[in-house]
Amino acid sequence: MSDPNSHPHFDDRGANHWFVTLEGGIDEAKRSGRLIFVEFGRKACTDCRTLVEVLLTDAQITNKLRTHFVTVAADADSDDPAILALAMQVQDATTLPYVMFSDAEGELLHGFSGPTSVADLLQIMDRLIAEPS
């Protein structure tokens, strides 16, 4: 993919603008007043591909992400200490992808691992959007 803002591993058909470091996501979240959505996976992970190419391209999900979140694509093989520290806080995380939500300071608000559904993801996003910051 030649677009520097596209997902580094998967084709989300331009649905989201992806940062590849938590630092970049935090800077944008502070600037824009949004929360942060982190997809932590790897290229060989089929559940990671499904998350990015199917769930995150759903119109309802895309609209919420664009409006309320900064999206960060983190490689599970990366050595980004900020991402790894955030991932270590996800309880019972045993299966990729890890999905993490943080505030604009990079503090974990919610996280889970493994496959999910559009309905479950929307429910989590709606709850986080409604919570006072």
Distance from first CA to last CA of the chain, Å, rounded?
Answer: 35
Q: What is the CATH number of the domain that holds 29?
A: 3.40.30.10
Q: What is the pLDDT along the chain (133 residues), one digit of tens a residue?
A: 335 688 999 999 999 999 999 999 999 999 999 999 999 999 999 999 999 999 999 999 999 999 999 999 999 988 789 999 999 999 888 899 999 999 999 999 999 999 999 999 999 999 999 986 5
Domain extent at residue 49: 18-130
6 in a domain, yes or no? no
| Tally of residues, the chain | 133
11 in a domain, yes or no? no
Tally of domains within the chain:
1
99 in a domain, yes or no? yes
SS3 call for 18: strand
5 in a domain, yes or no? no
Q: How many CA atoms lie within 13 A of 64 on its CB side?
A: 20
